[in-house]
Amino acid sequence: MIAILIAIGLPLVADPQQGQPVSSSDARPVQAASDDIVVSGLRDMEEKDSAVTQQTLGSSRVGSAVDSRRTFEHSQRWANCAIDNNQNHRALLRQIFNSRTNSTLQDEALRRLAQINATCAPDVQLALADGIVTNPYYDRGSLTIGVLKAFVPGLRLTKAQTSDPVVQARLNTRETPLARFRLPVDMRYFEAAICFARLQPELAVKLAMTGKPLATVRRLEAAIVNRSRICVGNARHVYFDGAQFRFYIADAVYRWALAVRGVETLIPTASGTNALILND
């Protein structure tokens, strides 16, 4: 059951030292997600018992944060451009988000989208020849953020919604078969993200949609982890790559939004040809 599974891993490294469980009374009230407010309660990174600190975020244990942010920026520019240009090819976007993760179907749709929008890519020739922009993981993650911003800019999720057994059943029914081809580590991170978004849906939406500076993004990430430590086995110190963490949270937000709305896609149809739909 994806919706209620408690995971003990987190992108990319967790240090599950013995700690005290966090009860619901430990969490501060959270305002509704909005880019025009600053949530004054996000002081978690400065607290002594914070699982996420400047040191864990800057740790070399998860690779180069600078390289990751640069790759994210390249993939994000391409994704935004591709979504803007893709009014008549939304079938490819729907194929990417409605098919099994890591499936041939999804990979082919992503490759073709890269080729069609090669002029948006940092390396046009690579995109045309091989259908690669940066790497499939970052490209898919950036597309997820871009799709949320483009098609559901006013999205709101609440804990009452993500706690609803009917909504959880919908999520499990849809996502269990779609997760079939996820690798074990990827699956563990995905389950953790689903858990984070279930317990902190307002902050998860804000993280996925925000256009605020890096400092705000980091504080949101820290707050999500600190207020949902049960999702990582109550680990005392948590290390992760910030860009990749945001991708997983955005993915979870997209899937919770489908479950809440009871729909199969957030990407509307557009006038024009549907000839680019791929066969499963």
Residue 41: per-residue pLDDT: 53
Q: How far apart are CA 160 and CA 147, in angstroms?
A: 24
Assign 5 a pLDDT band (cuts: 50, 70, 90): very low
What is the dihedral sign for C-alpha 118, 72, 268, 182? positive
Give the DSSP H/E element, type plus range, for residue 104: helix 104-116
Residue 37: per-residue pLDDT: 33
Least confident of 90-99, 167-176, 230-239: 230-239
Which one, of 217, 220, 218, lies nearest residue 200 by Cα? Answer: 220
Q: How far apart are CA 173 and CA 194, in angstroms?
A: 14
Query: pLDDT at residue 35 above 80?
Result: no
Assign 117 a pLDDT band (cuts: 50, 70, 90): very high
Residue 270: per-residue pLDDT: 64
**Tell me, what amino acid is at 76?**
Q
Residue range 72-90: mean pLDDT, rounded: 87
Tokens of 120: 């948006």
Residue 22: per-residue pLDDT: 28
Strands (E), the chain: 13-15, 237-239
Is residue 107 helix, strand or coil?
helix
Task: Please tell me which residue, 118 or 63, carries the higher pLDDT value.
Answer: 118
What DSSP character marks residue 45? G
Model pLDDT for residues 136-189, shown as the tens digit of each residue: 999 999 999 999 999 999 999 999 999 999 999 999 999 999 999 999 999 999
